[in-house]
Every structure is written in C-alpha cells, then in structure tokens.
Chains A and B, each alone.
Chain A
Amino acid sequence: MNYFPDEVLEHVFDFITSHKDRNSVSLVCKSWHKIERYSRQRVFIGNCYSISPERLIARFPGLKSLTLKGKPHFADFNLVPHDWGGFVYPWIKALAKSRIGLEELRLKRMVVSDESLELLSKSFVNFKSLVLVSCEGFTTDGLAAIAANCRFLRELDLQENEVDDHRGHWLSCFPESCTSLISLNFACLRGEVNLGALERLVSRSPNLKSLRLNRAVPLDTLQKLLMRAPQLVDLGIGSYVHDPFSEVYNKLKIAIQRCKSIRSLSGFLEVAPHCMSAIYPICGNLTFLNLSYAPGLHGNKLMKLIQHCRKLQRLWILDCIGDKGLGVVALTCKELQELRVFPSDPFGAGNAAVTEEGLVLVSAGCPKLNSLLYFCQQMTNAALITVAKNCPNFIRFRLCILDPIKPDPVTNQPLDEGFGAIVQSCKGLKRLSLSGLLTDQVFLYIGMYAEQLEMLSIAFAADSDKGMLYVLNGCKKLRKLEIRDCPFGDAALLEDVGKYETMRSLWMSSCEVTLGGCKSVAEKMPSLNVEIIDECEQMEFNLDDKQKVDKMYLYRTLVGHRKDAPEYVSIL
C-alpha cells in the first residue's frame, strides 16, 4: 500500500543510512524494494564471494560507494595461504563496463593489482575516495595511476597494506590542478617519497584534514607541512627523530602550536623520546592517540605524554607502557572508550609488561570503556569479574594472553568464570575473542548470555563438541565464527547446518572435523560454499572421508562456487 508518491518515499529513505535499516526497508513490499534499490548509493558487501558484481550492478544502478571485504579474518595471522583469493579486478572490470558512477571504493583484505587501480582510475570520472585496508598485490605504480587520473580525488587512505614500493614518483603524479584532497594516508609505504612534491601538494590542498606520513618523511619536511596545513584534524607523523636543540626542532614546536585543530595523532614509526615535549601543546585536544608503532617510547617520557591527554577517547599503545602506565591512563583519560594494548615483544621469553592489574586499573578509572584489545602476560578470573562490574558497556572485548592456554595464575583454574562474568554483564557485547585455559563451561555462558554477539574468535579452547554447540544454539545473532585448534568435530559441525545460512562465515582450522563431515554440510546446504584449504596437498593422495581437515572455511553465497580458487582449495 502506497499513500505517498515514490519521490516522497525516496526522500524519506534518504534519511535511512544504516545498511541494516535499508536492507529491512527493502523487504517491506515490492514497491519499497524498488524505490529503495534505485535510491541506494552505498552498499556494503562483507564477503566478496557471497554475490557477483553483475548482480550488484543490476540491483543498485545508482551505486556510488562500494565496500568489499575479501579474505577471512584469520588471513591477518598467516593462516590463509597467499593466493587464496579476494581479487578485486573482476569487480572493477564489471563496474567499469556498466554505467555505474562509482565515487568511493573501500576494500579490506583483498588482492588489488596495479591493473585494477589503473582501470579504476580511468573508468570513473567522479571517483573521489579510495580506502585500502590490509590489502596487497599493488605497487606505487598503481598509486601513480590513481594520482594522475582521478581529477577530483578527495581521499587516498592506505592502511597497513603490503605495497611493493618502487620508489617511483607517484606523489608527483598528482597534477597541479588537483586541489581537492581532504585525506592522504601513505604511512604504510616503505620507500622514499618526493618531498618537494609532497610539500607542493599539501600547499595546494586547502581542504586537507587528514595527513598520515610514512617513515621516509623527515622532521624538517614535517615542520614545513604543518606550517602549510594548520587546519589538519588528523596527523600521522612518520619519522620523529631529531636533536632537541636544533633549529628544525624549534621550528617544529612553533608549527605544532599553530595546529589547534588536531584531534588525532598517530605514526611515530621512528621516535626520539626526548623530543616529545613539542607535542604537549596539542595533547590536550586529542581524542585519538596511536603510539603502537613506537617501542622507543616508554617509561616516564610516555607517562608524561599521557598525562597531557585528558580528552582521549581512543588509545592504541604498546605493552611497554606497563601496568603502572595504565594506571596513569586510568587517572588521566576519563573519557576513554577504546583501548588497544599491543605486544612489543611477541616472541620474547615472557616479557609482556602488562598483566591483569593494568586492565583492572583502567576499568576502574575509565567507566566509558567499551572497546578493548589487550595482549597480556596473564589474566585472573577475579580481575575479569571486576572489569565486568566496572565496565558493563563493552561492545568489543578481545583478550589475548600470550600463552594461549594459561590458567588463572592465582587459582590455577580455567578462565571460564571470568569470561562468563563479562558476557553476563555486558549485554551489548558484539565481538569477543577468548584466550587462556578454557573449558566447555565458558561456551555455556556465552550461549546463555551473549545475546547480541556477532563475532566470536576461539583458539586452543574447550574440551568437546559441547562447547561449539552451546554457541551455535545460544547466540542468535552470530554472524562470524572463527575457531582454531579446538576439539570440535563433525557432531558439532553437523548439528544445525541451517544455522550457517544465517551467518556470514565459519572458519575452522586444526579442529577435529573430517572431510566426510564437511561434505555432508555441503550436500545439505547448497547455499553454502564449503572450502577445504589444503596447502600440503594431503587430500590429493588420501580421499578418505575420515581424514581430518586442516582448514575449512564455509560461507553463505548466492552465486555458487567461485571460479578463481587456487589448486589447493577444494569447494565441496
């Protein structure tokens, strides 16, 4: 029933921006579906193999912004072989052939070739924004094409990509006429850049709000850039090494003081701790501080810096901050919402400098804390219970104890009760990563209490299939489940195969599932792709159904088996 003309509905839909809401709107009736699809400009595809570019184009002809994700999350940790998939080229090719006026492309964990970038740069006149996160496969030549051909480019944001740096003059490829840049992030590039070209580019970009430099940009260039762009809101410093008594350093201090709009500071890929006082004038306004690439910064110098940052909402730091340093954070950063503590010495002999004490301190001092990533030496149930009480607002809780099966060192018990307290208290919890010694019990708690849980990462945990069953039966909103090295087998996998259609994906590696079990899932659920990743090619020689599968990745899809899988991937 439609009491309003289409244009009115369209106008109303303009206000509905979240993907979930728009998806819901499109399901109301045929008429709404039609109006919604023609007016939709932004589409998010969490698994690039769940749909094809042709179907995307057919449904959303007004598409302007596309977000695509490729490899499974565990690819970040080397668990997915190099050429598994996630190629963006077919998408760009199809979009280029169509009449879609693409303006924004955001990719995560995809393979992006120079060819794709070149095609992208030449195919869409109004292309404005390219964001690549954890991607690979391209070189600075591809970036040169983007710089040269995208006349209205506003955003080029490269985060943690593997880029083959040819040290070409890609920065010089931005034409003189390009004055539209708002955001430029090349921190992940390893090579030299043309500093003169960089200075000129920044000078002619009055709208530049975000600038993240790589390690090759020295202090004196930084100083010049800041003088030209005092309007910056987000700054990533590449190299921060200099003599505190030099002329350049003095100039830098003056330049930084002019940048009254900086709210976000990151980088410090190289840092001289005795030069940090130049930063103090802007610390008071910072809402995001990322020092997680700066192992040279610790102890008193670090604490002094933190003490200036009273408005901090997000802090990314290395564990050399220590429990004591986290105490300083707890006292200073009352607005803190997100904390990430990374290990500075991942393979060291038990030298992680933070323990449960630091976390407890932060939870007590920062009641707004809702997002945590914490690599630590150890954790206790008592601490987790305290944290759960102090901070019931966690949306993301990721704990990584460096020894993945370490029990509570005080009681020698598993950490079931601690994590149980977290899921019970944090009713809005959407993402959870577990570690430490864990039995089936923790999964019982998760199934019972984690009603909003969407993503769960499990490693080296549980005693039996029951663990996995508790989760699959209990967590109604589960979308992504990734499991490694757990004793979950076919019984758990096959209990409710329909569940996997309600989820984006399931990853299981080094578990007890067999080839026969996986085949069974594939047979019962044609809407799933069940991939067996077999790098050692054991499967070739031994097709016994009882054979345990090393890596299985299954995901729902509307387009059947993908055609670009490498030899060692079998899709059942």
Chain B
Amino acid sequence: MELQLGLALPTPNMVKGFDLNNHGLDQLKEMGGLEAWNKAAGCFADKDCVKSKRSFEQAFGNFTEECRTKPLLLWSGQPNEEEDHKDQKKATFSTTDENDAEEDDQVVGWPPIKTWRKKIFQQQQQPRVGRAENNRVAENENGRSIYVKVKMEGVAITRKVDIKLYHSYQSLTNSLITMFAKDKKCDEDDYILTYQDKEGDWLIAGDIPWQ
C-alpha cells in the first residue's frame, strides 16, 4: 500500500516559499481553494502490505480497512508564534525539548550549513529510480522505510519517496522539487505539498507535525 502525496500549483495568491518563518505560513492558511492534486492516506504502510495497482479511491478504501492507522499528531504551534517570532525568538527555542512540533522553530539559515551541503544530503536520501520501482522495503538506519508515491501536477511520471528519510515537510518538499525539477522546470515557490487523510479531506502538508 502506498501513501500518495501531491505537489500542486496554488491559486493566484502566490506563496513566497514554504518557509515557516516568514509570513508564508499565514498566507498559506489564508488561501482558499487550493488545487488539491493527489491524495495520501493518513496511515503508514506495514512491511507486509502488498502494493497493488488501484485507482486512488480504491486505494484509500483499502487503507482504512486493512492498514493500521496512526493518527497524525495535532500541531501545537500557533500561527501567532510565526508573527511574533522576531520578538520572541528566545522563547521559541527554549521549548525545543518538549515541543514535538519542531518545524515551526526552525529558522531560515540556521544551522549555518551551506545550501549545497544540505542538497547533497537530500540527494543521498533519495532512493535511486531502480530501487524505487520494486517493492522491497529497504532497511536503513532509521528503521523501516515507508515508500510514498508522489505526483506533480503537469508531470506524467509518478515518483516514489521514502518519507522515513525526511525529518520535516520542508526537507521533503525541497527534495521533491529537486526530483521533479528534472522533468519540469519549476520555481520552488510555486508549489504546495498536499495530501489526503483517511477521511478523504484535502489538507495542506504542514498543519500537522512531521511525526
């Protein structure tokens, strides 16, 4: 069974990147009617689940019946935290230990690692095309892999990604965009990550903590 994620173009209100630190997140929330592209179920595939070719709807039907579902945790971040970030920068960091939602604590340009180096890591985390096509779930340092099908609007080919290798929506989005950049020239700022949860609702990725 697979989860499916989608990268979709937003409505005319362009979002300036998926950076949780500027007002990007607020803009994201304000935007109505995102063109949701693909769906992902809210559950994680078991090693024993068998992939079968189905339409999206069927796949989700099966998800809820057969798979163990893990509810995604509610995000404890408040929108206000983003706006007040500059004034309360010290406050946000001190809660790193308890706060599950570390995503909203991440700052642009911190830690100070060269962008190029970050991209290398993302590259290394992408499974090669060959491996992605078969269903074996590879063992890696982080435990079992969870392969997810990803489609980008306007691109015919579906890709597969091991979401276990990512730690944040940001790194996942970046990686997906790098991956799809080969097929279609795209500006990082133009795409939104969406998924469908087990209820069938379209959600913008990022509302819920990564875990």
**Residue positions of A touching B, CB distance < 8 A:** 74, 76-79, 134, 160-162, 188, 190, 215, 269-270, 292-293, 295, 342-350, 375, 400, 402-406, 433, 457, 459-460, 484-485, 510, 535-536
Choice from A160, A375, A405, A457 contacting B114 with Cβ under 8 Å:
A160
Tell me if A188 and B116 are in contact (CB < 8 A): yes
Chain B residues, Cβ within 8 Å of A344: 121
- CB closest residue in chain A, given B96: A403
Choice from A79, A270, A345, A348 contacting B124 with Cβ under 8 Å:
A270
Chain A residues, Cβ within 8 Å of B156: none
Chain A residues, Cβ within 8 Å of B86: 485, 510
Tell me if A77 and B96 are in contact (CB < 8 A): no
- CB closest residue in chain B, given A433: B112
Q: In terms of DSSP, what is the predominant structure of the interface of chain A?
A: loop
Given known contacts A190-B123, A270-B124, A346 and B116 CB-to-CB distance under 8 angstroms: no
**Shortest distance from the beta carbon of A185 to any chain B beta carbon, whole Å:** 14
The 6 nearest A-B residue pairs measured at CB? A77-B109, A160-B116, A79-B109, A76-B114, A77-B112, A405-B93
Chain B residues, Cβ within 8 Å of A74: 109
Chain A residues, Cβ within 8 Å of B120: 269, 293
Tell me if B93 and A347 are in contact (CB < 8 A): no
How extensive is the interface on chain B, given as a class? 20 to 34
How long is the Cα–Cα vector from A484 to B90 in the complex, in angstroms? Answer: 14
Knowing that A350-B96, A433-B112, A536-B22 are A-B contacts, what are 12 other residue pairs whose CB atoms are under 8 Å apart, sorted by A's residue number?
Answer: A77-B109, A78-B115, A293-B124, A342-B113, A343-B111, A345-B167, A347-B168, A347-B171, A404-B93, A457-B112, A459-B110, A460-B93
**Residue positions of B touching A, CB distance < 8 A:** 16, 22, 86, 89-90, 93-94, 96-97, 102, 106-118, 120-121, 123-124, 167-168, 170-171
**Shortest distance from the beta carbon of B173 to any chain A beta carbon, whole Å:** 13
Given known contacts A160-B114, A160-B116, A162-B116, A78 and B124 CB-to-CB distance under 8 angstroms: no
Chain A residues, Cβ within 8 Å of B113: 77, 342-343, 346, 375
Chain B residues, Cβ within 8 Å of A78: 108-109, 115
Tell me if A77 and B89 are in contact (CB < 8 A): no
Number of A-B contacts (CB under 8 A): 86
- CB closest residue in chain A, given B114: A76
**Shortest distance from the beta carbon of B123 to any chain A beta carbon, whole Å:** 7
**Shortest distance from the beta carbon of B87 to any chain A beta carbon, whole Å:** 10
Choice from A190, A347, A485 contacting B106 with Cβ under 8 Å:
A347
**Shortest distance from the beta carbon of B90 to any chain A beta carbon, whole Å:** 6
How long is the Cα–Cα vector from A295 to B115 in the complex, in angstroms? Answer: 17
Tell me if A403 and B93 are in contact (CB < 8 A): yes
**Shortest distance from the beta carbon of A558 to any chain B beta carbon, whole Å:** 30
How long is the Cα–Cα vector from A405 to B93 in the complex, in angstroms? Answer: 7
How long is the Cα–Cα vector from A524 to B111 in the complex, in angstroms? Answer: 35
How long is the Cα–Cα vector from A79 to B118 in the complex, in angstroms? Answer: 15
Tell me if B89 and A76 are in contact (CB < 8 A): no
Chain B residues, Cβ within 8 Å of A293: 117, 120, 124
How long is the Cα–Cα vector from A526 to B130 in the complex, in angstroms? Answer: 60
**Shortest distance from the beta carbon of B199 to any chain A beta carbon, whole Å:** 28
Q: What are 24 residue pairs bridging A and B, where the CB atoms are less than 8 Å apart in the complex? A: A76-B112, A76-B115, A77-B112, A77-B113, A78-B108, A134-B114, A160-B114, A293-B117, A295-B121, A346-B111, A347-B167, A347-B170, A349-B102, A350-B96, A403-B93, A405-B93, A405-B94, A459-B110, A459-B112, A460-B89, A460-B90, A485-B89, A535-B16, A536-B22
